[in-house]
Amino acid sequence: MKYLSAESMALALKSLTSREHEVKNLVVQGLANKVIAAELGISQRTIEAHRARVFSKLQVRNAVELAHVLLVQRLAEPTTPFQDNPLCRPQLKKTLSKGLFVVCLVQVTRS
């Protein structure tokens, strides 16, 4: 699959609503739709709709591709503070089996 260019990705990210940003960040942390819905106080179906719009706007098919394109976007930026990166929050320790831990390792070695 061909991903958006860095410039197109930046524009696509700016086009996300604040709720879509919240959902995006929680999806990348490896949380299930049901957990995200409970955390945000909205229905699981609404989360599914937000998630689908995020995937569509960023032209990705799943959470792993989402994490990948966000990491590439962050690495393309002049500075990427590790501690500010939502991809590397402590909750990710629970998602090692999903392969998302690699994202944090890449960030650590870049700093």
Is residue 63 domain-resident?
Answer: yes
Report the distance separating Cα 47 and Cα 49, nearest Å.
5
Range of the domain at 57: 6-110
Cα–Cα distance, 36 to 82 (Å, whole number): 23
Provide the CATH number for the domain around residue 81.
1.10.10.10
Asked if the structure places residue 83 within a domain, the reply is yes
Domain for residue 1, yes or no?
Answer: no
Min mean pLDDT across 14-18, 32-36, 57-61, 104-108 is at 104-108
Number of independent structural domains in the chain: 1
Cα distances from 81 to residues 56, 77, 108, in angstroms, run 27, 10, 10
User: Is the pTM for the entire model greater than 0.75?
Assistant: no
* pLDDT higher than threshold 60 for residue 62: yes
Q: Tell me, what's the pLDDT at 3?
A: 76
d(CA 42, CA 4): 30
Percent of the chain with pLDDT strictly greater than 70: 66
Report the C-alpha gap between 87 and 28 in whole angstroms.
6
Instruction: Tell which residue, 36, 55, 59, has the closest CA to residue 46.
Output: 36
